[in-house]
Amino acid sequence: MKQKIIFTPGPSQLYFTVEDHIRKAFRDGIPSLSHRSKTFEEIFIRATAGLRSLLGIPEHFHIVFTASATEIWERCIQNLVAEQSAHYVNGAFGKRFFETAGQLGKKAEAITASDDEGFTTQQTHDSAELIALTHNETSTGVSLPMAFINGFRETNPQALIAVDAVSSLPYPEFDFTKIDSLFFSVQKGFGLPAGLGVWIVNTRCLERAEQIKSKGALIGTYHNLPSLVSYARKNQTPETPNVLGIYLLAMVVEDMLRRGIKAIRNETEYKAAILYQALEANRFIKPFVRKTEWRSKTVVVADCGTYTKSLTEYLMQKGIQPGEGYGSYHAMQLRFANFPAHSKEQVELLVDLLQNFEP
Amino acid sequence: MKQKIIFTPGPSQLYFTVEDHIRKAFRDGIPSLSHRSKTFEEIFIRATAGLRSLLGIPEHFHIVFTASATEIWERCIQNLVAEQSAHYVNGAFGKRFFETAGQLGKKAEAITASDDEGFTTQQTHDSAELIALTHNETSTGVSLPMAFINGFRETNPQALIAVDAVSSLPYPEFDFTKIDSLFFSVQKGFGLPAGLGVWIVNTRCLERAEQIKSKGALIGTYHNLPSLVSYARKNQTPETPNVLGIYLLAMVVEDMLRRGIKAIRNETEYKAAILYQALEANRFIKPFVRKTEWRSKTVVVADCGTYTKSLTEYLMQKGIQPGEGYGSYHAMQLRFANFPAHSKEQVELLVDLLQNFEP
């Protein structure tokens, strides 16, 4: 049976080298490997050094592993917020980050925008210890411009800036002098099986967690930030982690480094451009996000209205699996991931089909 | 290169069908599967129904997934203890469960025994909301007799009984009328790649979590017990989980059901018997746990004293990877896992080598 091309925004299409890496992992006994062994430490080093190189992560940032980005929302609030956080919310995932803070008993403020829009100005949040931003709203395909994210350092110098880049990395190039915490999960842009979150934090974050802890507040147990960082310094994790997931991340990041991050970024932009062009060209569908500056390059959302079902069936017949619209948009939208695992040829095929679609 | 037989107590030897299952998983697109799809729900059902059947888990117990057993320590304390817990500690892992409660601000009491011993009596803990027991201490190879575990229901009827069975399941047969919470991780007795914890809880646990929450105390966010159970009722998880891990668990549990839990239990006892016999027979080494009623059937620990290094080298030359002694026992002990993935033939080979070892 011919395999479908998976355009769901995560879990998504696997990076094309993953199956080979997993075969080698079994040959080399990686799944039976002790997470306290030298070999595991070498894998940890390859994964983190590779990510540093790929994403330009500076020395004073630590890279730690969790089970998911959902877990990072919780750990982020527990460790970086004693009392108050501010959340920019324009979709389901930004909203869940906001709600996480409430569930943990923090005074959380939400600054909201329409689902198909980003924000225009950085407000000042005098009491917020953390400002939470969702770089790429997976539910709506809205992406915040980098200049907007970078503006918070000046308007809110006292706050830590935490950026959810779950469905955009490795595409975006962040300015690490303007943010303090960045995170993603591997089943999206990295094209890996789900079950691993990656949390990148600077020394300010670590100091904040230690400060909160020293005042007697609870910051969690095995996955509190000081514990995570102290094990990361030994190239280990506090618990037995998803060893195979960390191994596969190391391997795929090295593949991406060989391909070159510039090539990946250029290709992402080319594929996004032809995808939006196809949505503009077909009179039955249109891009959900109207303003081009807010259009995500990595999750392209189409308003398909009453044609949603017929377009889905048409694409499925051609071997293409689109992502369903999120939540209340289920019946009227489709989402198309545009990750490094999606080849130019695959996206061009999708584009041809979208252009030629007639209900 | 011939692969070693892995006797480390976890991550350990893979169950012999895992590699085939992973190959099929890739053919069927499991790693790209949405965790909100019908296909994922079917996998969830196969994993949980299989476990129910294999371990005899009654209807009023829920089965939920976490990233690790370490995570379950945290979730267990957060959700089941408002103020006070009692922990039976006779090794490193029972100690970490106890320390987790302290890190979460609970009044935790430790009842301690020597590392090579279990406990003789169930004390009464009037104020403890939870009694934490480690069925099989992975660090020392001490296992608590089932009658001891079952005695707590009568001596402490008000308390929830939580049992860590990380390195013993699926071997032991628990009486689910005598316990409330049971958990394990898959990289030990189930012979799977690490990155998944399984938490089995009854309705009393769920009610306790809801009660604690209703009083305004914090029970966590996405992985609080009501949230985990509410998703499990839909055969889903709150977050994108380790989909491949849950799939592999479903497949291996079905393999184990075909083999039969009785056969697995009988084989485990046979292999444990010949392993202890080999340790008794060789005059240079001896079992660490002296009293037979406390000797683990699934993690056999050998006191090797000054011969630890030479025995390790001798076994490694023969293609056998023993587990190192834990923590301070590193230089004088070896641990041998005896899991369903370890065939009779493999254990017999190990036994021959142990009997014939001369420094």
Most B CBs within 10 Å, among A242, A247, A248, A321, to test the B interface: A242
Look at residue B2 in the predicted model and tell me its pLDDT.
64
Look at residue A2 in the predicted model and tell me its pLDDT.
64
Complex ipTM above 0.95? yes
| pLDDT tens figures, A172-206 | 999 999 999 999 999 999 999 999 999 999 999 99
Q: Are residues B198 and B336 in the same domain?
A: no
Q: Are residues A226 and A294 in the same domain?
A: no
Q: Are residues B102 and B248 in the same domain?
A: yes
Answer yes or no: is pLDDT of B82 > 90. Answer: yes
Separation between Cα atoms, residue A303 and residue A344, nearest integer Å: 23
Q: Quickly tell me which residue has 């005896």 as its tokens.
A: B338
Q: Are residues A193 and A335 in the same domain?
A: no
Partner residue facing A221 (CB), from B103, B239, B244? B103
Look at residue B1 in the predicted model and tell me its pLDDT.
47
Chain B residues touching residue A220 (CB < 8 angstroms): 74, 103
Partner residue facing A68 (CB), from B68, B192, B240? B240
Answer yes or no: is pLDDT of A322 > 80. Answer: yes
Chain B residues touching residue A339 (CB < 8 angstroms): none
What Rg, from alpha-carbon coordinates, does chain B have? 20
| pLDDT tens figures, A265-304 | 999 999 999 999 999 999 999 999 999 999 999 999 999 9
Mean pLDDT of B103-107: 97
Those of residues 257-296 in B touching chain A at CB distance below 8 A are none
Cross-chain Cβ contact A194/B244 below 8 Å = yes
Confidence category of residue A1, pLDDT binned at 50, 70, 90: very low
Mean pLDDT of B81-110: 97
Partner residue facing A241 (CB), from B10, B195, B243? B195
The domain containing residue B304 runs over which residues?
5-13+260-356
Those of residues 138-197 in A touching chain B at CB distance below 8 A are 185, 187, 192-196
Q: Of the candidates B218, B233, B258, which is a domain's last residue?
A: B258
Q: CATH number for the domain including A204?
A: 3.40.640.10
Look at residue B3 in the predicted model and tell me its pLDDT.
81
Mean pLDDT of B87-96: 97
Mean pLDDT of A241-246: 98
Contacts of A86 (CB under 8 A, 6+ apart): A108, A109, A111, A123, A125, A128, A130, A131, A132, A159
Look at residue A329 in the predicted model and tell me its pLDDT.
96
Q: Are residues A103 and A229 in the same domain?
A: yes
Separation between Cα atoms, residue B296 and residue B13, nearest integer Å: 18
Mean pLDDT of B46-62: 98
Look at residue B262 in the predicted model and tell me its pLDDT.
98
Chain B residues touching residue A67 (CB < 8 angstroms): 66-68, 71, 195, 239, 241-242
Those of residues 219-258 in A touching chain B at CB distance below 8 A are 220-224, 238-245
Look at residue B101 in the predicted model and tell me its pLDDT.
98
Q: Of the candidates A200, A223, A258, which is a domain's last residue?
A: A258
Cross-chain Cβ contact B218/A103 below 8 Å = yes
| pLDDT tens figures, A6-16 | 999 999 999 99
Q: Are residues A76 and A154 in the same domain?
A: yes
Terminal Cα distance for chain B, rounded: 27
Q: Are residues B251 and B233 in the same domain?
A: yes
Q: Are residues A227 and A293 in the same domain?
A: no
Dihedral angle sign, alpha carbons of residues A49, A55, A60, A64: negative
Q: Are residues A102 and A32 in the same domain?
A: yes
Look at residue B126 in the predicted model and tell me its pLDDT.
95
Q: CATH number for the domain including B323?
A: 3.90.1150.10
Separation between Cα atoms, residue A86 and residue A212, nearest integer Å: 18
Mean pLDDT of B190-214: 98
Mean pLDDT of A141-146: 98
Is the Cβ of A32 closer than 8 Å to some Cβ of chain B?
Answer: yes
Chain B residues touching residue A3 (CB < 8 angstroms): 29
Q: Are residues B187 and B308 in the same domain?
A: no
Q: Of the candidates B200, B231, B258, which is a domain's last residue?
A: B258
For residue B155, CA distances in Å to B89, B224, B351 come to 18, 29, 41
Give Cα B35 to chain centroid, integer Å. 26
Cross-chain Cβ contact A193/B244 below 8 Å = yes
Answer yes or no: is pLDDT of A68 > 60. Answer: yes
Give the distance from residue B96's alpha carbon to the nearest chain A alpha carbon, in angstroms. Answer: 10
pLDDT, mean over chain B = 97
Look at residue B272 in the predicted model and tell me its pLDDT.
98
Q: Are residues B68 and B83 in the same domain?
A: yes
Cβ atoms B139, B326 nearer than 8 A: yes
Answer yes or no: is pLDDT of A331 > 90. Answer: yes
| pLDDT tens figures, B152-170 | 999 999 999 999 999 999 9
CA angle (B6 as vertex; B115, B94 as ends), nearest 5: 25
The domain tally of chain A equals 2
Find the length of chain A. Answer: 359
Q: Are residues B240 and B289 in the same domain?
A: no
Give Cα B268 to chain centroid, integer Å. 15
Is the Cβ of B104 closer than 8 Å to some Cβ of chain A?
Answer: yes
